[in-house]
Chain A
Amino acid sequence: AQKITQTQPGMFVQEKEAVTLDCTYDTSDPSYGLFWYKQPSSGEMIFLIYQGSYDQQNATEGRYSLNFQKARKSANLVISASQLGDSAMYFCAMRDHTGGFKTIFGAGTRLFVKA
């Protein structure tokens, strides 16, 4: 069965510093995708970064990178040089072949960036 776990309800980071948001997952499907989304207070879901189960290298997108440790089933998001605008909810998500490629989400982590 699919499962996504985010154990950090809230995180604080100083502006310009890096922060790591944790995510672990579970699936029996060897083919899966891991995603991170940002949800500001306005509610829209913004896609940040993707990591495929067969990817050999960690994904990077600008200030976002994904620390993918397949054996540990973890896919942590690293945000470098935090900005005040990074304050938001962050959701880890997984998609595999289950039920027509449906995507499930973790509980989320609220990130607060301090000036």
Chain B
Amino acid sequence: GAVVSQHPSRVICKSGTSVKIECRSLDFQATTMFWYRQFPKKSLMLMATSNEGSKATYEQGVEKDKFLINHASLTLSTLTVTSAHPEDSSFYICSATPAGVTSYNSPLHFGNGTRLTVT
């Protein structure tokens, strides 16, 4: 149980275009999803907390207008990288915890990540 699907797994786009990444909880509902970014050989850095039905909470230093997050339903959150540039190239990975069990003792369930390359 607790499967998170992320799509696409890889995407290459041209500089200046926008890319949308989807994160779906397949067998549970998630009021909260988390988006992380990972540079090569580095740790996961939390970008934002996606809240169903309300605005996302962004971490300090993350541009809200560049990384648009929408959490329209209890099973879907999307991250849109707007006007992408080569420095946005990275591994983006989403995670979720089933609704109602979000607590300090609940592990995150991760999607398989999206490798974005901006040329």
Contacts and interface: CB of A to CB of B under 8 A. Distances in A.
Contact of B110 (A45, A50, A110): A45
Interface string A11-46: 000000000000000000101110101000011110
Nearest to A48: B107
A44 B112 contact: yes
Size bracket, chain B contacts: 20 to 34
A45 B108 CA distance: 9
Contacts of B115: 43
Contacts of A95: 104-106, 108
A91 interface: yes
Given A99-B57, A104-B46, A107-B42, A43 B112 contact: yes
Contact of A100 (B42, B44, B49, B105): B49
Interface string A69-105: 0000000000000000000000101011101111111
A93 B103 CA distance: 14
Given A43-B115, A99-B49, A100-B49, A33 B43 contact: no
B34 interface: yes
A106 to B, nearest CB: 6
Nearest to A47: B107
Given A101-B106, A105-B44, 12 more contacts: A33-B103, A33-B104, A45-B95, A53-B104, A96-B104, A99-B49, A100-B32, A100-B49, A100-B102, A101-B103, A103-B34, A105-B43
4 shortest interchain CB distances as A-B pairs: A45-B110, A33-B105, A33-B104, A105-B44
Interface of A: 29, 31-33, 35, 37, 42-45, 47, 50, 52-53, 91, 93, 95-97, 99-108, 110
Interface of B: 32, 34, 41-44, 46, 49, 51, 57, 91, 93, 95, 97, 102-110, 112-113, 115
